[in-house]
């Protein structure tokens, strides 16, 4: 399968942050970003560095302080909410309170931007929902209540919901935060598969550095200076990953792609 390199989203000179009365609280500036179809992109960085703010800005929930975000050839701010919803879907960290909805009903909510004023599902909507259920391996659970599912299954339902929204771009905020290692790997594999097979762009913010380095096509490394974007190999070679946590507590083991406790610390404990 030949993958066409289509740029779905690009950010130019983006400054993100919050407006507090007259003062701009800048989180990150001079960001130049691109998202291509068919790619799995991992956004990594320390806690509180502004990953969530960046994601919120990219999905148009929070206005940028300055700079431009383009969805293909259109400026994000010129696109209506409903149209954005047909181009970007999200999986957020907050848990839905819709505990009494069935899996099918919850996934069906994804068709909100496409259905009429009554929210009636047409054949096309049902087809998309069934397809998404199949792709995420949830077809057998369709009539289970969401609160009967395990955390791993709930997360798969939320990914399925985003998938059924049928958007080119899916953005996930720490999708594996509460999962065990088995389900973490399973989720990453699922996302990689969806990016490859459906030619979608999937952007994940994550703390799973080891997994991300193995599976992502592109890494966005967010630090105080901004975002360094590149393939996992590049970032490891140039020691950008190693400098992510710049203190003596830990160091990065390039061979095993993981952070280890610094030697001094180990000795001190011993």
In the complex, what is the shortest distance from the CB of residue 3 to another protein, in angstroms, rounded to a whole number? 26
Nearer to another protein, 59 or 236 (CB): 59
Nearest to 203 by CA among 35, 61, 1: 35
Strands across the sheet containing 226-230: 88-91, 169-173, 201-205, 40-45, 218-223, 226-230
- Half-sphere exposure at residue 170, Cβ-oriented, CA atoms within 13 angstroms: 28
Nearer to another protein, 104 or 220 (CB): 104
In the complex, what is the shortest distance from the CB of residue 156 to another protein, in angstroms, rounded to a whole number? 16
Nearer to another protein, 117 or 267 (CB): 117
SS3 19: strand
Look at strands 88-91 and 169-173 and give their pairing: parallel
In the complex, what is the shortest distance from the CB of residue 116 to another protein, in angstroms, rounded to a whole number? 9
In the complex, what is the shortest distance from the CB of residue 158 to another protein, in angstroms, rounded to a whole number? 9
Nearer to another protein, 84 or 211 (CB): 84
By CB neighbour count within 10 A (0-12 exposed, 13-18 middle, 19+ buried), where does 102 fall? middle
Q: Give the whole-angstrom CA distance, residue 176 versus residue 205.
A: 10
In the complex, what is the shortest distance from the CB of residue 84 to another protein, in angstroms, rounded to a whole number? 7
Q: Which residues bind another protein (CB under 8 A)?
A: 59, 61, 80-86, 88-90, 92, 94, 96-102, 104-106, 109-110, 112-113, 115, 117-119, 126, 130, 142-143, 145, 165
Nearer to another protein, 41 or 141 (CB): 141
Look at strands 258-261 and 66-71 and give their pairing: unpaired
């Amino acid at each position: 399968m030949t993958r066409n390199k289509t740029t779905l989203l690009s950010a130019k000179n983006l400054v993100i942050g919050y407006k507090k009365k007259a003062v701009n609280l800048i989180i990150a500036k001079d960001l130049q970003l691109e998202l291509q179809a068919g790619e799995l992109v991992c956004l990594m960085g320390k806690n509180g560095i502004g990953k969530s703010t960046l994601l919120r800005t990219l999905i148009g929930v929070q206005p940028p302080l300055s700079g431009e975000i383009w969805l293909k050839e259109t400026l994000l701010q010129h696109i209506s909410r409903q149209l954005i919803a047909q181009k970007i879907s999200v999986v957020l960290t907050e848990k839905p309170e819709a505990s009494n909805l069935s899996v099918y009903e919850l996934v069906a909510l994804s068709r909100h931007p496409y259905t009429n004023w009554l929210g009636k599902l047409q054949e096309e909507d049902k087809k998309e929902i069934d397809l998404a259920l199949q792709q995420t391996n949830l077809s057998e659970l369709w009539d289970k209540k969401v609160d009967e599912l395990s955390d791993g299954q709930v997360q798969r339902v939320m990914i399925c919901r985003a998938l059924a929204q049928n958007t080119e771009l899916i953005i996930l905020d720490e999708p594996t935060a509460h999962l065990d290692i088995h389900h973490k790997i399973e989720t990453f594999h699922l996302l990689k598969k969806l990016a490859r097979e459906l030619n979608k762009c999937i952007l994940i913010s994550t703390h799973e550095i080891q997994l991300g380095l193995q599976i992502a096509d592109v890494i966005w490394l967010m630090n105080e200076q901004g975002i360094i974007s590149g393939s996992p190999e590049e970032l490891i070679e140039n020691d950008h990953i190693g400098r992510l946590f710049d203190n003596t507590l830990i160091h990065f083991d390039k061979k095993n792609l993981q952070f280890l406790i610094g030697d001094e610390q180990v000795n001190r404990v011993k």
